[in-house]
Amino acid sequence: MKKSVRKAVIAGNWKMNKTPSEASELIKQIAEKAEGKNGCEVVLCVPFVDLCAASDAAKGTNVKIGAQNVHFEEKGAFTGEISVSMLKEVGAEYVIIGHSERRQYFGESNETVNKRVKAALAGGLKVILCVGETLDEREKGITGETVSVQTKIALLDVDSEALKNVIIAYEPVWAIGTGKTATADQAQEVCAKIREVLADKYGNDAAEATTIQYGGSMNAANAAELLAKVDIDGGLIGGASLKSEDFGVIIDAAQ
Ligand code: PGA
């Protein structure tokens, strides 16, 4: 299968930005940019409290809505957590799981990532699974090993049918929010490695069909070069997804 056959997905990760009213406004602007751009899927992953407003604003447009995390239990005594069914009811189709900020600041481990991935898939959400090495791991020469372990553990007990609803986002931790982008060659090398891990587990066809994104200071200026690489099928974009002009340029680059 060729890269052109895989679904390109340009996803925004708004992190802890925008109130519900601000979200509606920005989604309207982004939806205008996304109109008629059928060469990629456009997803915006917004804060939990923005989901209702975001789903309303995205209705009838090309934009899909996602959340930034989900708990693995269906319900119960988990103060502050949100379940899959709650997300679905307010219109989320996607969920980011295992973002490095969750791993760094909120005790997320490969094991809890796996539990969240399984729960989200079982409940019918599409998953954007984040993996990526720290600067220390890159300097030690264990980037490949790190992303392999993260990918393998996250996908334990996920079968090839369920894999169809998984996007993998390669996000080098040192490139997130720092303005330091991985070079297109560095990003390509790791995305190819991730595809190799998928091929070992699921076979070539499933690996070739899986969308792999790059994330980490992707912006209007560097998106085209990154997206031109054979194993980079989209982007997970933080800062630049909060500016409709810049995000529009990235959507165009993915066409
Ligand atoms: P950034 O964030 O584009 O602001 O570097 C990417 C991400 O964290 O998903």
pTM above the 0.95 mark? yes
Average pLDDT over residues 5-25: 96
Does residue 2 register a pLDDT over 80? Answer: no
Instruction: Report, in angstroms and rounded to the nearest whole number, the Rg of the chain calculated over CA atoms.
Output: 17
Contacting residues for 119 by C-beta, under 8 A, at least 6 apart:
70, 71, 72, 73, 74, 84
| DSSP labels, the chain | --GGGSPPEEEEE--S---HHHHHHHHHHHHHHHTT-TTSEEEEE--GGGHHHHHHHHTTSSEEEEES---SSSSSS-TT---HHHHHHTT--EEEES-HHHHHHS---HHHHHHHHHHHHHTT-EEEEEE---HHHHHTT-HHHHHHHHHHHHTTT--HHHHTTEEEEE--GGGTTSS-PPPHHHHHHHHHHHHHHHHHHH-HHHHHHS-EEEESS--TTTHHHHHTSTT--EEEESGGGGSHHHHHHHHHHT-
**pLDDT, mean of residues 10-21:** 98
Enumerate the active-site residues.
Answer: 99, 171
pLDDT tens profile 68-90 = 999 999 999 999 999 999 999 99
Best mutation site among 237, 241, 246 for ligand 1 pocket (most ligand atoms within 8 Å of CB): 237
> Residue 247 in contact with residue 34, Cβ under 8 Å?
no
Token pair in block for residue 248: 């529009």
Q: Does residue 237 line the site of ligand 1, with CB under 6 A?
A: yes
Q: pLDDT digits over 150-205, tens only? A: 999 999 999 999 999 999 999 999 999 888 888 999 999 999 999 999 999 999 99
Q: What are the φ/ψ torsions at residue 10 (nearest 5 degrees)?
A: -105, 115
pLDDT at 3: 78
* 206-255 residue pLDDT tens: 999 999 999 999 999 999 999 999 999 999 999 999 999 999 999 999 99
CA 52, CA 38: separation in Å to the nearest integer?
25
Ligand 1 pocket residue status of 203, Cβ below 6 Å: no
The pLDDT mean for the chain works out to 96
Residues 110-138 have pLDDT tens digits of 999 999 999 999 999 999 999 999 999 99
pLDDT at 181: 85
Task: Single out the residue of 135, 67, 80, 130 nearest to residue 102, CA to CA.
Answer: 130
1: pLDDT strictly greater than 60: no
Distances from the Cα of 65 to the Cα of 97, 108, 114, 120, 143, angstroms: 15, 23, 22, 15, 31
pLDDT of residue 83: 98
Q: Which domains does the chain have, with CATH numbers?
A: 9-254 (3.20.20.70)
Q: Inform me whether the pLDDT recorded for 5 exceeds 90.
A: no
Q: Is it the case that residue 16 has pLDDT exceeding 80?
A: yes
User: What's the chain's length in residues?
Assistant: 255
| Mean pLDDT (whole number) for 23-31 | 98
The 10 Å CB-count burial string (b at 16+, else e) for 204-228 is eebbbbbbbbbbbbbbbebbeebbe
How remote is the CA of residue 156 from the centroid of ligand 1, in Å? 26
Whole-number Å distance, alpha carbon 217 to ligand 1 midpoint, is: 6
